[in-house]
Amino acid sequence: MIAIIDYGMGNLRSVQKGFEKVGFDAVVTADPRVVLEADKVVLPGVGAFPDCMRNLEEGGFIEPVLRVIREGRPFLGICLGLQLLFTESEEFGVHRGLDVIPGRVVRFPEGMQEGEEELKVPHMGWNQLTFKRRAPVFDGLSDGDNVYFVHSYYVQPEDAGVVATSTNYGIEFCSSIWKDNIVATQFHPEKSQEKGLLILKNFGEM
């Protein structure tokens, strides 16, 4: 069973429909006990980092999430679900994250350029992946494949060895990580059409 954590922040139904489309049952749950019983867990997220951390804590999800990760069950973070895994974020002040992956979440710098064009923040739309390490969840994807992003902040891992893909948007930033049983993406697989569905299918088969 795949559990999608409902803590009031995220496009949950789209993630659930994505899994259903590739043949996997996924349940959206606001019950930490269901998370603890799940074979695989997905932490999505849309919104502000401090609000998400507060909702996770108030919903009783922090210890279940950490336990699932410790026990080696497949874990997928999406967008803010990637950022929450890090030590801290600078969004609306400095806020503590789950500290599973040492590192920080920082805002894109102002005034980024691409040629003569000034790049807007948030980074929104389709952009390419460059592979650094080949996580099994990315089987079937290639350098240059496009996926869908919506974000103003990005992660800076202390250990470059956890970076699975990078993407260029004014700067080169980490667009996904892979460490042991954890895969987390800054982009939205559920909005990335065939390539994103392939990622969900690969995760479902882990």
What amino acid positions are annotated as catalytic residues? 79, 188, 190
Report the Cα 191 to chain-centroid distance in Å: 13
Q: Closest Cα to residue 149, out of 121, 107, 171, 182?
A: 121
Q: Are 26 and 41 in contact (CB under 8 A)?
A: no
User: Would you put residue 190 in left (φ > 0), alpha (ψ -120 to 50) or beta?
Assistant: alpha
CA distance 54 to 192: 28
CA distance 68 to 74: 8
In sequence order, the β-bridge partners of residue 168 are 172
**Strand-pair category, 113-114 with 123-128:** unpaired
Q: Two tokens at 185?
A: 């993406």
